[in-house]
Structure 1
Amino acid sequence: MGRRSATSATSPRTRPASPSGSSRKSDAHRAQPPAPPPPFPGTAGPRRLPQHRVTVVDSQPTAGGGVLVVVTGSLAVDNAFDKPLQFTGAFNLQPIPGQPGGFFVHNHVFRLILA
């Protein structure tokens, strides 16, 4: 039998990196980290996702096996619940035909209460 080199005996996943760094094909296609999201229009700084707290959920059945749901609560950016933004939302859930227990949102109304 012929002599095997160390490179051919190792799998591609355990092969050491080449000395030049990016000469391997897999290095050229390696995913780059995502860029930070752009700021909101008219504001400076990165985009921040709000945290929410639901305080009340009211629901009642509707015609056709649906459910009308009304939700009230507060939103806070950077966990600043000392300065919350109040909101209310209402949506109509309707059953998905042929999928027992499945629902879809038929209508949705969301209102941010700025006082």
Structure 2
Amino acid sequence: MLFLLLVKASDRSEAGLFPDPSLQEAMAAFNRDLVEAGVRVMAKGLHPTREALRFSFRRPDEEPDVTSGPFEPPIDHLAGFILIEVASKDEAVAWARRMPDPQGHGEGQIELRQVFESREMN
């Protein structure tokens, strides 16, 4: 089963500030644990929304409207993600509980979402 740990943005991540070194090391250790357990598929951080474009499809069969970032509020956006492959939702929840506060400063929030796999979509 595939799950995404979606790291929500914060004012600090939207400002392009990286976590302090101790939090960076805690996140690196968590990622090493995921790799060693053989469950991490991919992990990436995202640039702030000030560098993003939003494509809004307002009418069928028409070109989308394009808006440049930044977008507000930060908590509605993503700062990064970790894709894991595990045997069950309970295992995914256990990994999510082990993840350090990804933003630090009491701003961190992650969202756990299961990924549809091709056999589910047929």
TM range (shorter): under 0.3
Of the two structures, which has the highest relative contact order with CA contacts closer than 8 Å and spacing of 6 or more? 2
TM-score where L is the length of structure 1: 0.24
More strand by share: 1
Indicate the structure (1 or 2) with the bigger Cα radius of gyration.
1
